[in-house]
Amino acid sequence: MESSRRDLLRHPVSFAGAALATVSGLSILALFTSSLFGFEGGGPYVGILAYVLLPGLFVLGLLLMPVGLALARRRRIRLAATGSSEPKLPILDFNSPRMRTLGLGFVALTTVNVLILAAASYKGLELMDSSQFCGSCHSVMDPEVTAHDLSPHARVACVACHIGPGASWFVKSKLSGTWQVISVTLGLYPKPIPTPVHNLRPARETCEQCHWPTKFVGDRLEIKTHHDDDAASTPTKTVLLLHVGGSEGVRAKGIHWHVDPSVKVRYLADAKREKIEKVELVGADGVRRVYQTKGDPNPDARWRDMDCVDCHNRPTHIYRSPEDEVDAALEAGRIDRALPFARREAVKALRQNYPTREAAMTGIAQAFEDFYSKSEPSRASELRPAIDAAVSELKAIWKRNVWPSMNIQWGTYPSFIGHGGSPPDPTKGCMRCHDGDHATADGKVIPNDCDLCHNVLAQDEKDPAILKQLAP
């Protein structure tokens, strides 16, 4: 025992292990204690240090200690190879008070080590499940974190959708995350991050933990506000009665008919799921129908079972068009309609191509201000506050939707909801299937009637009568 203690302190490997375990263990305890008293400074990086890096060093130190002891023993054997017998193993005689003290010390230290590792492991798992941890890779994840924080799912943790419950998907995500760490470290990640995520967990195991298809039923009123490009940026309203649908009684109808448990839809499409060649439907009657286009087949196309994200492909990381963003800002008053041609000039300033963020901030301000300095020189001082407020809003819009460092421009990540964005894109959204071109062998086509998914109660009207009826 005396020689083992001496080897622990004198052999460089075991000494390094003991020092590493001691320093990292004390550091973990210090950081954990500080978190108990409410200190959370440093953001996710302190957590990564305390509950990921330091525990790894702690375990490494514990492993180095027996390795050093074994190496020291081999060294003693070599030195004693002069004909004498091999050194005997130490005798653990617990009748000796000193041995009992050492044994109790060993048990106590082991218990402390186990408690340290347990606390660190728990906090480490908690940290790795946090959105702050997921978004800590700045250059890569800044766009996704920004979009997440402004989305309807801002209070939903990343892991709730990207991993979901259960140990098997947790393990898969961490194995995938190992390569992601390597990619970020070595700069191997693509720009922009490609979508869709092909290894994403099925929506029935994630989205439907909150959004039950049988609970989202019936019709929903939706009012869309757009603005003309005239001098007054005149607002117009489009009022839709969306047939959200779902399972009602013994049959499903409406938009959510696609994910009814009694219906199975799958499709053959390219990697981006934008060009759909075939659609296979097995309805509640059990009859199989195949709809396909007349174009040449894509040898790289793959089959996929349809679920929520085939339409709701941007449920959280939403990138809007300049038109939608400016319309929302005008409606909310963040851009003043008193500015002549505010909508037209705002969209024009945003749509210009800027190579860097700095160039965009300068260019947007210059483009917007130059128009009014030339067209309204006599009202310069009067319009100045509204111009400054509009420029500030336009810069914010650009910064949350365009990221030159990741090659993210307007339209890089289109939405498949409805008509495929604003302005509508017939190759996106519902029109990928409901285009009138997908037909069965006997000539039946996937319907594309305007009232299939919604009834248009008013379209681009300044003062829709339906709104007066609903709210007299």
- Does residue 387 lie within any of the structural domains? yes
Do 281 and 166 reside in the same domain of the chain? no
- Does residue 196 lie within any of the structural domains? no
Average pLDDT over residues 146-164: 88
What pTM did the predictor assign?
0.74
Do 14 and 70 reside in the same domain of the chain? yes
- Does residue 373 lie within any of the structural domains? yes
Of the pLDDT bands very low, low, confident and very high (cuts 50, 70, 90), residue 320 is very high
List Cβ neighbours of 35 (8 Å cut-off, separation of 6 or more).
50, 123
> Where does a domain end: 147, 173, 189?
189
What pLDDT does residue 42 have?
46
Of 54-68, 161-175, 371-385, 387-401, give the range with the top mean pLDDT. 387-401
- Does residue 204 lie within any of the structural domains? no
Q: Hey, what are 175's tokens?
A: 């194995």
Do 169 and 121 reside in the same domain of the chain? no
Q: Which residue do the tokens 């890089």 mark?
A: 412
Compute CA distances 268 → 109, 299, 407, 445, whole Å. 60, 11, 28, 16
* CB-based contact 246:214 (threshold 8 Å): yes
- Does residue 58 lie within any of the structural domains? yes
Select the more confidently predicted residue: 64 or 123.
Answer: 64
What pLDDT does residue 139 have?
67
Do 309 and 427 reside in the same domain of the chain? yes
Do 179 and 257 reside in the same domain of the chain? no
Do 17 and 116 reside in the same domain of the chain? yes
Do 308 and 421 reside in the same domain of the chain? yes
How many domains does the structure of the chain reveal?
A: 4
Q: How far apart are alpha carbons 307 and 204 in whole angstroms?
A: 8
> Where does a domain end: 128, 153, 178?
128
Average pLDDT over residues 59-71: 80
Whether residue 178 has pLDDT greater than 90: no
Do 123 and 8 reside in the same domain of the chain? yes
At 348-369, the pLDDT tens digits run: 999 999 999 999 999 999 999 9
Do 398 and 421 reside in the same domain of the chain? no
- Does residue 199 lie within any of the structural domains? no
- Does residue 194 lie within any of the structural domains? no
Element containing residue 331 per DSSP (H, E): helix 322-332
What's the domain range around 253?
Answer: 220-316+416-470
List Cβ neighbours of 232 (8 Å cut-off, separation of 6 or more).
337, 340
What pLDDT does residue 104 have?
87
Do 307 and 449 reside in the same domain of the chain? yes
Do 65 and 141 reside in the same domain of the chain? no
* CB-based contact 32:47 (threshold 8 Å): no
Do 238 and 275 reside in the same domain of the chain? yes
CA 427, chain centre distance (Å): 25
- Does residue 211 lie within any of the structural domains? no
Whether residue 169 has pLDDT greater than 80: no
* CB-based contact 461:243 (threshold 8 Å): no
